[in-house]
Amino acid sequence: MSGVRVLVGTRKGAFVLESDGKRQRWDISGPHFGGWEIYHLKGSPADPNRLYASQGTGWFGQLIQRSDGGGKTWEPVGNRFVYDGVPGTHLWYDGTPHPWEFARVWHLEPSLTDPDTVYAGVEDAALFRSRDGGQTWQELPGLRRHESAPSWQPGAGGMCLHTILLDPSNPERIFIAISSAGAFRTDDAGKTWRPINRGLRSEQIPNPTAEVGHCVHRIAMHRSRPGVLFMQKHWDVMRSDDAGESWQEVSGNLPSDFGFPIDVHAHEPDTIYVVPIKSDSEHYPPEGKLRVYRSRTGGHEWEALTKGLPQRDCYVNVLRDALAVDSLDPCGVYFGTTGGQVYASADTGDSWAPIVRDLPAVLSVEVQTLP
């Protein structure tokens, strides 16, 4: 019988939650790397036992851990992230030039086909790749050498490259997103990049429709339709039907269109999920009600999913990498909160139950559907 493995990164370690296909009873292991921040961990689509984890602290810096045993055993691999050539400068919060400085790995994206190839999105924003299972890392410097890069500026969380989407239909095409530079696309495997932000409107920047400078929080795609992208921006939920060439707002009837994560149902490419947050200055759900919103129409029309979620006095946040789906039928949906709860739905979001309630603040949730 197939099963599910949920990989949870928290402020104080990683946790691995496993269940059979019913998704009712869960085994919880962890903390792995107790006391360390685990920004993200993710499994290889080509080998479900191969996992990568981004581990760090302010004291001892960045580590990368690799598991070849589905999270039961781990070994540290390479942690040398050095920008290619002279790094140059971007803009600091005060508008002055600031040298590119590596801070941490926000997101690890394993190759769709090769377990030893994995991409890393880092702060200060850049894209790295390893082709030897994480032992060594090389920057794909074309992104950071884009002509707009000296004008990129960090968001409140730092200037992080947090989203990496690999196009399953075209190995040369990668989408990435940076807070707060925006979304970019390469069509030549990372040699050259261009901004794909036309149609975004951000009142927080001097030119609301500028080519770069937008605080994109997350992008998602369905693997059967990689030209259609969904975006949760700082404010606004957006959709592109042309691989990012242009974007249209699809916030519709959401109670707030501020938020962090967005994801797509495993089997219905027009069913998408967001978690509305009240505002950029109040990082908690509107009215103290934790609600996932689902659109079955690719945006515009949204329904609140509340069954099993706290509907009073709830003031947690759900961060950009902390929502994921499995590929069972019916599709399972999972998210983690800054209050340490991991909620699961085994019925496409109609009802929810906590898998675990009292973890450290959850930074990321990824799901593996096991054979």
Partner 1 sequence: MIRVVLPAHLRKLAHVDGEVKLDVEGRVTQRSVLDALEARYPMLRGTVRDHVTQRRRPFVRFFACEEDLSHELPDAPLPDPVATGVEPFLVVGAMAGG
Q: Which residues here bind partner 1, judged by CB under 8 A?
A: 35-36, 57-63, 76, 79-80, 82
Q: Which helix (H) or strand (E) holds 13?
A: strand 13-20
CA separation for the pair 116, 303 (Å, rounded): 40
Q: Which is nearer to partner 1, 22 or 80 (CB)?
A: 80
| Contacts by 342-348, CB closer than 8 A, 24 or more apart | 342/6, 342/8, 342/17, 343/308, 343/309, 344/6, 344/23, 345/292, 345/305, 345/308, 346/22, 346/23, 346/24, 348/265, 348/271, 348/294
Nearest distance from residue 322's CB to partner 1, in Å? 23
Answer whether the bond into residue 281 is a cis peptide, omega within 30°.
no
Nearer to partner 1, 63 or 304 (CB): 63
Nearest approach in angstroms of CB 104 to partner 1 is: 12
Minimum CB distance to partner 1 smaller for 58 or for 206: 58
Select 59 or 94, whichever has its Cβ closest to partner 1.
Answer: 59
Q: Which of 211, 194, 121 is nearest to 160 (CA)?
A: 121
Q: What is the distance, to the nearest Å, from the Cα of residue 12 to the centroid of all Cα atoms in its chain?
A: 19
Structure tokens at 97: 């030039």
CB of 63 to partner 1, least distance (A): 7
- Smallest distance, partner 1 to C-beta of residue 126, A: 15
- Please state the closest distance from residue 357 (CB atom) to partner 1, in A: 24
Q: Please, which residue, 57 or 311, has the CB nearer to partner 1?
A: 57
Q: What is the 3-state secondary structure (H, E, C) of 204-260?
A: CCCCCCCCCCCCEEEEEECCCCCCCEEEEECECEEEECCCCCCCEECCCCCCCCECC
Question: Residue 161 CB, nearest distance to partner 1 (Å)?
Answer: 19
Per-residue buried b or exposed e for 137-162, using 16+ beta carbons within 10 Å of the residue's own CB:
bebbbbbbebebbeebbbbebebbbb
Nearest approach, Cβ of 155 to partner 1 (angstroms)?
A: 23
Residue (79 or 306) nearer to partner 1, CB: 79
Cβ-Cβ contacts under 8 Å for 47 (sequence gap 6 or more): 115
Q: Between 118 and 250, name the residue whose CB sits nearer to partner 1.
A: 118
Residue 117 CB, nearest approach to partner 1 (Å) = 22
Whose CA is closest to 324, among 1, 5, 3? Answer: 5
Shorter beta-carbon distance to partner 1: residue 82 or 156: 82
Q: Nearer to partner 1 by C-beta: 124 or 167?
A: 124
Integer Cα distance of 127 and 79 in angstroms? 14
Question: CB-wise, 100 or 247, nearer to partner 1?
Answer: 100
- Residue holding tokens 């290889």? 44
Residue 60 Cβ, how far from partner 1 at the closest point, in Å? Answer: 4
Q: How far apart are CA 337 and CA 317, in angstroms?
A: 6
Question: 3-class DSSP state for residue 151?
Answer: helix
For residues 262 and 237, the answer to whether their CB atoms sit within 8 Å is yes
For 131, the token pair is 């082709």
Q: Which residues are within 8 A (CB) of 60 and not within 5 positions of it... i.e. 6 or more apart?
A: none
Least distance from partner 1 to the Cβ atom of residue 133, Å: 15
